[in-house]
Chains A and B, each alone.
Chain A
Amino acid sequence: MEPGDRDQRSTNTVVEVGDLRMRYGSHEVLTGVDFEVRRGEVVALLGPNGAGKTTTIEILEGFRTRSSGRVTVLGEDPAQAGEAWRARTGVVLQSWRDHPRWTPRRLLAHLGGFYAPYGTRETPRPFDVEELIGLVGLGSHADRRIVTLSGGQRRRLDVAVGIVGRPELLFLDEPTAGFDPHARREFHDLVHRLSDLDGTTILLTTHNLDEAERLADRILILANGTIVADGSADQLARQVAGAAEVRWRAGGEAFVHATQDATAFVRELLARGGDDVTDLEVRRVSLEDTYMSLVHGQAGAAEPSGAALELVG
């Protein structure tokens, strides 16, 4: 088969995972994970540390062999997929410290070279290096030795390397760990640009709720080795108790009511209670509330409250 042939056979499901299990000795890290990622989606795999996010993404990347279950990524089983499949994926990790003596420009040109045989008329590969440097905002640093880059610049280079082959699917594993808020904001803008640019499908892991909410079209919450929730930030919030909380005071007493339809409830409340109702307050359930309730509502969830979570409002 000619490299690139498979590009034409695009289907709408990019990732398909069914009853995925992973055991290390007697310890079962993944106890049956099911989800799908469709073409062009940005999906966040969210969960506390140790929930199995990295294990899951490494199985999808083809870097780890699963114990059992069905996994299809871009139409192939990553455990068996070859180099042509590899050319259609991109990987960005948090721990890379490689090529300290190279310059970003040189490294991108070199690594881009591997994708040249996989280019097609619709998807010329690799990415033009100049364009790529501009896209990730490394312009003034492109000719510095990589060892001299800051953490945020380094990660932007990692993203540039991840997409130099114009991947159909990009994996981002904890992409903003250790970033300051400014670098994090810039990185989020970059991910939005990527997903708009080529319609690249992006699967990222994070333990940062704010990040998941900002970046992802859809959030998968992984807890205790299984997906406990799957939906947009709004849908997830609605799955729990009610979408909103209404608080008010009447006759010297404080009241709280959770409801799916705050407007209707308040209309009725005012109609019935009249002038007696004071201090009326409607608060939407935040993703954070949802997350806490989902992760800790799980049977056997032993995670100490909030200890392993990064809660950024």
Chain B
Amino acid sequence: MTSVGAHAVGLGLRRGWYEFAQSLRSAQDQGFYLFTGLVALGYLVLNRDDRVAGTGLLEPTVTLPSLLGAFVVFGAVVGPGYALAMAREDGTLLRYKTAPHGLLAYFTGQLVTQALAVVPQLLVLLVPSFLLFDVMAGGADGWLTLAWVLALGLLATLPIGMIIGALVPSTQRMGTWGMLPILVLTGISGILFPVQELWGWVQVVAQAFPTYWIGLGMRSAFLPDAAAALEIGGSWRTAQTVLVLSAWAVVGALLTPIVLRRMARRQSGSQVERARQAAVQWIR
């Protein structure tokens, strides 16, 4: 990379941090973090006395790591998806297109902001759960596992969010293009009930996507080794987790720049103006 490019990446990192800091101060974003956190926490509290069949473990202990996994995927896919769709419509992207190496900085910043935004999202659920339930059986090793699953999980899923954000026709369509597939995938990925309860082909589909593996990795971090008996093959399948998530990360890293470049080429003032008028006119 040229020194001018490196300079732009530096500006992008600073932008990413600043946007994240602003998001933490924004009542709108705080509300979103709290709402999703409280809904998940409510689910755990309602099921706090249920024991998971085949283990001596309580429902919140088993479900919390899976929910954290789902939060990672949700934040990393839906977050950049919305951000990018909006950046196309409000002119942010065009603004960076008019600056030399601006898009490089914008996308760098976006990755930083979205990766950081997952942290408060997880803490809102993790901190109260830690106080209410017995959640971490793995000790220091467990926290280390949590860290690498989180990092690798973000690398695997952030590109998916960026690509969806680049392809979605408008912000209003993010529900169908982003939220819906993620909710369906969450439903079949063993977050709220074991994936083995579903048909064979659904299990195959679920295991092709990162959600299942991030959930599995999270459970391996938090739960005692005996709980692996509940998983497919009776194992945490750590090597396979690394392999699948890395594969998604590599494909994402190769594909995303191509998709983003194509999208950015189409950005122009009249496109932003059309989006502005479309936003005024919701019903056609």
Most buried by A among B14, B101, B105, B267: B101
Asked whether, in the complex, the Cβ of B90 is within 8 Å of the Cβ of A118, the reply is no
With A63-B269, A83-B4, A114-B8: A101-B100 Cβ-Cβ less than 8 Å: no
- Which residues of B have CB within 8 Å of A87? 100
A84 contacts chain B at the CB level, 8 A cutoff: yes
**Cα separation A106 to B21 with both chains bound (whole Å):** 14
Determine the chain B residues whose CB is within 8 A of the CB of A95 once the complex forms: 91, 269, 272-273, 275-276
Does A173 count as interface, using CB distance less than 8 angstroms? yes
Asked if B15 contacts A114 (CB within 8 A), the reply is no
Residues in B1-23 with C-beta less than 8 Å from chain A = 3-4, 7-8, 11, 14-15, 18, 22
Residues of B within 8 A of A98 (CB): 87, 90-92, 95
Residue ID in chain B nearest A101 by CB atoms? B22
Interface contact A3-B4, CB-CB below 8 Å: yes
Q: Which 6 A-B pairs have the closest CB atoms?
A: A63-B268, A98-B92, A83-B100, A114-B99, A87-B100, A96-B91
Known: A3-B4, A58-B270. A110 touches B11 (CB 8 A): yes
Which of A3, A102, A117 is most buried by chain B, counting CB atoms within 10 A of its CB? A117
**B97 at the binding interface (Cβ < 8 Å):** yes
Q: Measured between C-beta atoms, what is the minimum distance from A284 to chain B in Å?
A: 36
- Interface residue ranges of A139-169 to B (CB < 8 Å): 161-162, 165
Residues of B close to A97: CB separation below 8 A: 90-91, 276
> Which positions 62-98 of chain B face chain A at CB distance < 8 Å?
87, 90-92, 94-95, 97-98
A31 located at the interface, meaning its Cβ lies under 8 Å from any Cβ of chain B in the complex: no
A58 smallest CB distance to B (angstroms): 5
Measured between beta carbons, the chain A residues less than 8 angstroms from B102 are 111, 114
| A93 lies within 8 A of B100 (CB) | no
The reply to whether A84 and B100 contact each other, CB–CB distance below 8 Å, is: yes
Which B residues have a C-beta under 8 Å from some C-beta of A? Answer: 3-4, 7-8, 11, 14-15, 18, 22, 26, 87, 90-92, 94-95, 97-102, 105, 267-270, 272-273, 275-276
Question: Which residue of chain B has its CB nearest to the CB of A94?
Answer: B273
Q: How far is the CB of A84 from chain B (nearest CB, A)?
A: 7
Q: Is A115 an interface residue, CB under 8 A from the partner?
A: yes
Distance to closest chain B CB from A54 (angstroms): 5
Known: A91-B98, A114-B11, A162-B98. 9 other contacts (CB 8 A): A61-B268, A93-B269, A95-B91, A95-B273, A98-B92, A98-B95, A113-B7, A114-B99, A161-B95
Measured CA separation A162–B91 after assembly (Å): 13
Task: State the interface size on chain A (CB cutoff 8 A).
Answer: 37
Chain B residue, CB-CB nearest to A167: B98
Instruction: Check B7–A117 contact: CB distance below 8 A.
Output: yes
* Contact in complex: A64, B268 (CB < 8 Å): yes
Nearest B residue to A145 via CB reads B22
B105 to chain A: which residues have CB within 8 Å?
114
How close is A262's CB to chain B, nearest CB, in angstroms? 43
Is there an interface contact between B269 and A173, defined as CB atoms closer than 8 Å?
yes
A99 located at the interface, meaning its Cβ lies under 8 Å from any Cβ of chain B in the complex: yes
Q: Are B90 and A96 in contact (CB under 8 A)?
A: yes
In the complex, which residues of chain A have a beta carbon less than 8 angstroms from the beta carbon of B92?
Answer: 98-99
* Chain A residue contacts of B15, Cβ below 8 A: 110
CA distance A284 to B273 in the complex (A): 38
A116 contacts partner chain B, Cβ-Cβ < 8 Å? yes
Cβ B269 vs Cβ A54 within 8 A? yes
What is the minimal beta-carbon distance from A270 to any residue of chain B, in angstroms? 55
A residues 185-213 touching B (CB-CB < 8 Å): none
Residues of A that sit less than 8 Å from B by CB: 3, 54-55, 58, 61, 63-64, 83-84, 86-87, 89-91, 93-102, 106, 110-111, 113-118, 161-162, 165, 173
Chain B residues positioned under 8 Å from A91 (CB to CB): 98, 269
22 intermolecular pairs with C-beta atoms under 8 Å apart:
A3-B4, A54-B270, A58-B269, A58-B270, A83-B4, A86-B100, A87-B100, A90-B98, A91-B269, A93-B94, A93-B269, A96-B90, A96-B94, A98-B90, A98-B92, A99-B92, A106-B18, A115-B99, A115-B100, A116-B7, A161-B95, A162-B98
Contact of B14 among A3, A84, A86, A110 (CB under 8 A): A110
User: Are the CB atoms of B270 and A165 closer together than 8 Å?
Assistant: no
Q: How far is the CA of A292 from the CA of B105 in the complex (A)?
A: 47
Smallest Cβ distance from A158 to chain B, in angstroms? Answer: 9
- Tell me the bound Cα distance from A116 to B4 in angstroms: 9
Cα–Cα distance between A3 and B4 once the two chains are bound (Å): 9
Report the bound CA distance from A89 to B98 in whole Å.
8
Cα A64 to Cα B266 in complex, Å, equals: 8
> A111, B95: Cβ atoms under 8 Å?
yes
- A19 smallest CB distance to B (angstroms): 22
CA distance A96 to B88 in the complex (A): 11
Q: How far is the CA of A54 from the CA of B98 in the complex (A)?
A: 16
Tell me how far the C-beta of A23 lies from the nearest C-beta in chain B, rounded to whole angstroms.
16
Partner of B3, one of A64, A96, A100, A117: A117
In the complex, the answer to whether A101 meets B26 with C-beta atoms within 8 Å is yes
CA distance A61 to B92 in the complex (A): 17
Residues on B with C-beta less than 8 A from A58 are 268-270
Chain A: minimal CB distance from B5 (Å)? 9
B68 to chain A, nearest CB (A): 28
